[in-house]
Amino acid sequence: MPPSCIESLMLPVKTVKWVGDADGVLDLLDQRLLPQRVERLQCQTPQQVYEAIRTLAVRGAPAIGVAAAYGVCLALRNKPEETPLAEAKTLVAQTTLHLASSRPTAVNLFAALNRMKAVVQTSPPCTAQFKQRLLDEAHAINQQEQDNCQTIGRCGAPLVPDGKAVLTHCNAGALATTGIGTALAPFYIARQQHKRFTVYADETRPLLQGARLTAWELTQAGIETVVICDSMAAALMQAGRIQAVFVGADRIAANGDTANKIGTLGLSILARHYDIPFYVAAPSSTFDRSLPDGAAIPIEQRNGNEIRRFNDTLITPSQAETWNPAFDVTSAQYITAFITEHGILRPPFAESIAQTIPQQTDQHDKRESYE
């Protein structure tokens, strides 16, 4: 098998990996420590996976879906083979519910857990085979995400302007997936095709995923990267220095309205004003056709200390309140196209999404079955 794009670019990262057999462990890159330290977490229980997702040790919609799938497998780690099958299935069902409560917005989490729930409905002859089926399904989810990333990269690479500059927000690269990323995947493939371009990375306040994570992985891959404060994007566009914007997504409604990291909405409006293409790259697992539009997407509210503090230093008056949504919703009218593993989707999105995204991903209970 030929080396992946990440391997050929010598990017030293594997965000999520399973080590061992059905009684193995989940090995995660701890993204809270990047870029200062590269350390890994060994998760042996579902609760450890829950905390890793909740605290953003693992983050990015595809990556948390895969991590949660493996977290379900950990529910039966080292359970004896003589454990009654009914008991094992009950434990797994409880674990899927718990992991689903870790974060509310990224639909990939619920899509992956639904697939693990489906294994519970099968009829394996014993607990040992049940454990193996769970692990096989988690591996399949992982492989599908990796394959999707490669295809998204190939589909999106022609949109990367040669000799020009692009802008991205937050991190939708290898660190957010188990493959080469979504929004960054076209950059990696374009680089393989010998295109030369510059990527401007918004720092992405308050947790600096752009400055810490996107800049780290792009520079590791040898791609020219410039980090800017979020407030500088408008000036860059006004100066004519940005030719395209590429972002990822955490949930996409049936009409194309898209939830992504807070700040994405503002960029989309700026891009429309300056007539700059605005691309959203995401696998079909990120589309939630059970939601008619973005108004129905749940938006995670995070702890205000993420704004108040930088590391251990208080940077705001203690009396000041905060408002800290993790995501905003970009209206479909500001999106030029979606880059998916099924190709490029263009307006009208209600039609192109319905016609292109496979029906099996349109699971009405992706979200509702966990509420």
Which residues are designated catalytic? Answer: 250
Q: 């693990």: which residue's tokens?
A: 116
User: Which own/partner contact pairs does 76-82 have at CB distance under 8 Å and 24+ positions apart?
Assistant: 76/22, 76/127, 76/130, 76/131, 76/134, 77/23, 77/24, 77/25, 77/44, 77/45, 78/23, 79/127, 79/131, 80/127, 81/126, 81/127, 81/128, 82/127
- Cβ atoms of 149 and 284 within 8 Å: the answer is no
Q: Is the CA virtual torsion 100, 105, 109, 111 positive or negative?
A: positive
Q: Provide the token pair at 311.
A: 């590391």
For 14-66, give the DSSP string: -SEEEESSTT-EEEEE-TTSTTT---EEEE-SHHHHHHHHHTTSS-SHHHHHH
Q: Provide the token pair at 223.
A: 């791609």
Rounded to 5 degrees, what angle do the CA atoms 158, 164, 169 make? 80
Q: Is the CA virtual torsion 173, 176, 180, 181 positive or negative?
A: negative
